[in-house]
Amino acid sequence: MKMSSLCVKSANNKETTHPHQLPIYATSSFVFEEVEDSIDIFTGQRKGHVYSRYGNPTVDAVAEKISRLETFGSDIEAFGLMTSSGMSAISTVIASLFKKGDKLITQGNLYGGTTELIKKVFVKMGMEAAFIDLTDLNLLEKHLKEDDQIKMIYFETPSNPTLDCIDIKGVAQLAKKYNIKTIVDNTFCTPYLQQPLLLGVDYVIHSTTKYLSGHGNTIAGAIIGREEDKSLVWQHLKLMGTNCNPFDAWLVNNGLKTLSLRMDRHSKNAQELATYLQNHKMVSKVNYNGLSDHPFHKLAKKQMSQFGGMLSFEVKGGMKAALKCMNRLKFCTQAPTLGDVDTLILHPATSSHLNIPESMRIENGISDGLIRVSVGIEDIEDLKADFDQAFAEC
C-alpha cells in the first residue's frame, strides 16, 4: 500500500472493551463485508445500519430511550424516531398519515409555528384544517359525527403559551370510536410528567430541543408511537430527510440523564413564581395549572404528575407595559425557546405568534400583554427579586 492510500483509509478501531458512554457515530454510511449482507439488510431480511439518513446507532439508541420513557410502567411496545427538530417531527408524522382531501382537527391556541405549518404548508397540499375548542368533548364529537373526512386530531396539552389542558384520555377514546389517529405534542411535560401513549394516544412528538435536552445546545425532535405503526412514519422520515444527526442526539442523551432532577426543580420553582405573580398588583392574570383556582387545575392534576416549568401571565397596561417589564428583567433571559436550565422570557404577540391573525390570537387568550416564562432551576429568591425590581419600574 502506498502512503497516499494509507492517508485515505480509516484508522483501525482499537476498542477492546465496551465504552461507558454512548459514542457518537459520526459516519454517513456503514460497511458491508459481503454484498449478500447489503442485500439482506436492504430487503429487510435482517436488521442493520446502511446509511445514517435511514438510521444511526447513536440516534437510534437515544430514540429508543425516549420511547422507553414514554411507555414506562406499561407493556406497550413502542418505537422511537429522532428528527432534525420539533417542527420536523410534527411535519413527518402528519405527512405520513394524511392524503389529499383529508381533514385535521386541532386547537386554536397552538404554538404559532405549528399553526403556520398547518395553514401555510399542509392546507396548500390539499389538507383541510379546523381549529376548534378541544376542551369541549361534546363539540369535538359533533365534528367527528358530521364529517367523515376527519382523519387526524392534533393537540398540545398544556398549550403554548396559555397552558390550557385537553383531556387526553377523552379525546383518544372519541378518536378510536371514529377510527381517527391522534397526535399529541408532549414537549412541555416530557414523559416524566405525562405519558399520552398510556392514555390511548397514537403518536407523541417532542421538540427534544427543549426539556429533554435542557441545556439550549441542540436542535432535534422525536416521534414515539406503537411498534406496529413504525414502518409508515420511518419511510417518510427516510424519504423526506428529516432525520436527526448523531451529535445532536448525543447531546439529548446527556440531557436525559438529569431529566427527573430538572423537572422536579422546574416544577417547584414555577409553582412558587406563579403564586408570587398571582399576588402582585402589576399582574392581572396568571396561567399555571398548579394554581388551585386555575380552570384546568383538576384535569392537569389527573393526567400530569406535576405541573411543569411553563407559565404565562398578563401585565396590567397591555403591550407597552409588558415590553417595558421584559426589558427591565436582568436575571431572566429573553430568548425564543424554552426548557433550558435558566429562566427564559418571551413575548408571544411579537415573536412566536407574530404571524397568527390578531383576532385568532386574542380569541385564544394570547393577548398583547401576555408574557411567557420558562422557569429555570435557579434559586427562586433570585427570580422573585428580578421580577420585584422590574415591576417597580413599570
Q: What is the DSSP string of 296-339?
A: THHHHHHH-SS--SEEEEEETTHHHHHHHHHHH--SSEE-S---
Of 219, 103, 92, 209, whose CA–CA distance to 151 is shortest? 103
Radius of gyration of the chain (CA): 23
- C-alpha to C-alpha distance for 364 and 189, rounded to whole angstroms: 21
Distance of CA 265 to the CA centre of its chain: 19
Farthest-apart Cα atoms in the chain, separation? 79
**209 and 86 in contact (C-beta within 8 Å)?**
yes
Q: How many CB atoms within 10 Å of residue 150?
A: 21
Q: How many CB atoms within 10 Å of residue 388?
A: 11
Active-site positions read 53, 111, 185, 210
